[in-house]
Chain A
Amino acid sequence: MMRIAPVVLSLLLIVCALALVTSQYRARELFAGLEVSQHEAKSLEAEGSRLRSDLGRASQPAIVEAAARRLGMRAINPERIIILPTSAADTAKAAFAPGKE
């Protein structure tokens, strides 16, 4: 028994040492992967903010207005607005001229 123990223990030690090396290696590999992904996430975020900014620029009211005019659209004129009451209560409210406070 006392003869086998050192052999078994040294084998165990070797196995442990190899496992340690492997796990260290794996950890570093994964870390490198994490770094790459984080970098990617950052550049995607930057791309996203660029696109949002472009969208903001494209949807500027000045541009929208110019496009609407090209299409022959006009701004809503309050004189052309007709209010449609939806219920009896609303009808009553609408009938009461909002001019009187």
Chain B
Amino acid sequence: MSLSALRPQARLRPATRGAGLRTVQGNATRAARDASRHGDLLAVKLSAWRSKLLLFTLFSAFAALSVRVVYLQGGWSTGFLQRQGEARYARTLPETPTRGTIFDRNGVVLASSVPARAIWANPEDFEADAKQRAQLARLLELSPEELRRRIANEDRSFVYLRRQLDPDVAQRVEALHISGVHTAQEFRRQYPEGVVTSHLLGFTGFTKVGEHGLEGVEREFETMLGGQPGLRHLIADRLGHTIEDDWLHEPVQAQDIALAIDDRIQYIAHTAVKQAAEANAAHAAAAVVLDARTGELLALANWPDFDPSRRKQFDPNQVRDRAVTDTFEPGSTLKPFSVAAAIESGVVRPDTIIDTAPGRLTITGRTITDDHPRGALTVEQVVAKSSNVGTAKIALQMPAQALWETLSAVGFGQVPQAALSGAVPGHLRPASTWRPVEQATIAYGYGISVSLLQLAHAYLVFARDGDIVPVSVLRTESAQTPTRVLSTQTTVKMRRMLELATSDEGTAPLARIPGYRVAGKTGTARKLRDGRYTDAYVSSFVGFAPVSDPHIVVAVMIDEPRAGRYYGGDVAAPVFGAIAAGTLRALQIPPDSPATQVAQATANGG
């Protein structure tokens, strides 16, 4: 088509047209001829308002654009364009610090975060043949049905197939090149010691904002281990390289922590507790090992235990840190405190004779009995042979307040200052509410409830010349300021009594270990259920070693031994022996027993 057809016909003049055109383009030429015939007639017919309208329309359109430009660029509404522009070069990324590592006292890793991958899928894009599906399911350790179920929902564009996967396995998943399957970086919390440290360390869990400690040390030291996520503002170039950054708020870096735990002692305690619980068909068992000099927690073991890497099998019964969160009536393990209070207040001396015949004592209608009735005993023997009647008689000679003060000063009825999650205060009523019979029963450990941690902590008084320091979960160089509870003289007397308890005439000869002098006290308490004492027992033993210079305190509790034997001296004392022997060896503490062979300098020539 020639231009002539498009031009306003009124303006065409035949003279301007070439001869060739006229022959080739029939229609156009004819139209041109028509135009020349009608001449200016058509031009008159096109009234001026049409072109003015066109001009006005065009002007209005430009005016509208100008207004819009001014509106968008002139500062009235710049937000939209700025947002769009910024979205193309800037981005804001949250920066989560890697969770801190938990070490034991010797620098062994107890918990650390290692890189892992999450495998996720977009069900809309998912495409794989049967063979690829089978391989994927095998790598992800999912059943083929489970895999099918997860990718069945095409309404969703993001489905986790597997989280916390090993990076090596994730690489093999990537190598399958299945469309719609992607990997994302994340971290996995690892506990190399597994079941051995599980109760103490606890575990972490994921919420929308990240990983948090849910139990144990992980929870208690969350602020140190977790840090605070930061927000980073990045400016990227065309290729996506960061060219500028600044912090909207900086992250608080996570800190590593060193616990007081010694992983060798922890292992010894855990093994001993587990063996004892299984051998005695017990409901539960626990042990606590404390450093007598610094109050550091060297080991804390519980049974039943749980594997922190098998989260699906978590059972609250196994996960609970019984040594810290559960209380029980301690029974005879409490007697030394009552006797110490009596000696301290000058009511009795270690050699004072107490008549425990005939093995029972009735106070305001309630009768206290001894399992093995004995006649006249010294105070020393009352402790060593664990006489309820004797202890009750001693306790009744002193004011209730004095007993309460001693029990309270060693930490009973108070939340332990140790940073252990779920630590309970136990139960110790104020002395003003005690009836006489209660004063007697509390003296030998009934009508008061304590946790195993509290019991171990309280025995620091006897192991430390009469003062007490708070339990420390973290490794410390020096002990905190001690609080004095008993005089040194009273403590020395008590130590003698407690050592007597592990002699052949005491209740716990099985607590003895070769090479060292040990001291301690057994406990066999009936369990209270629905307000009545049952035939189920809690057997316990708390002691310390070596007696000549106490270094460790070990407390053992066996809950409901059901294999026939239930006396603390039979059930818990051997566990104490096993743990104490292993701990003293691990800490390389020289034997102090007279039986130890000491090479004569002369014989060996120095």
Smallest beta-carbon distance B462→chain A, Å: 13
In chain B, residues 194-252, which have Cβ atoms closer than 8 Å to a Cβ of chain A? 194, 196, 237, 241-244
B514 within 8 A of A: yes
Encode B68-105 as 1/0 by CB contact (under 8 A) with A.
00000000000000000000000000000010010000
A2 within 8 A of B: no
Check if B598 sits within 8 Å of A83, measured CB to CB: yes
Check if B109 sits within 8 Å of A85, measured CB to CB: no
A6 within 8 A of B: no
CA distance A60 to B197 in the complex (A): 11
B359 within 8 A of A: no
**Which bucket holds chain A's interface residue count?**
35 or more
Least CB separation from A61: chain B residue? B267
Check if A79 sits within 8 Å of B514, measured CB to CB: yes
Check if B593 sits within 8 Å of A46, measured CB to CB: no
In chain B, residues 578-606, which have Cβ atoms closer than 8 Å to a Cβ of chain A? 581-582, 585, 590-599, 601, 604, 606
Encode A34-56 as 1/0 by CB contact (under 8 A) with B.
01000000010111011011111
Check if B244 sits within 8 Å of A31, measured CB to CB: yes
Smallest beta-carbon distance A4→chain B, Å: 39
CA distance A85 to B514 in the complex (A): 20
Smallest beta-carbon distance B102→chain A, Å: 10
Check if A83 sits within 8 Å of B599, measured CB to CB: yes
In chain A, residues 16-73, which have Cβ atoms closer than 8 Å to a Cβ of chain B? 28, 31-32, 35, 43, 45-47, 49-50, 52-57, 59-62, 65
In chain B, residues 284-300, which have Cβ atoms closer than 8 Å to a Cβ of chain A? none
B427 within 8 A of A: no
Check if A56 sits within 8 Å of B192, measured CB to CB: yes
Encode B457-491 as 1/0 by CB contact (under 8 A) with A.
00000000000000000000000000000000000
Give every chain A residue within 8 A of B593 (Cβ-Cβ): 78, 98-99
Query: Do A94 and B109 contact each other (CB < 8 Å), given the known contacts A28-B243, A32-B242, A78-B591?
Result: no
Q: Could you write out 7 A-B pairs with CB less than 8 Å apart?
A: A46-B98, A46-B187, A49-B98, A49-B112, A56-B192, A83-B596, A95-B598
Sample of 13 further A-B pairs with CB below 8 A, known A50-B115, A55-B109, A62-B267: A32-B242, A46-B114, A49-B114, A53-B190, A56-B112, A61-B267, A65-B267, A78-B515, A78-B516, A81-B591, A88-B601, A99-B592, A101-B548
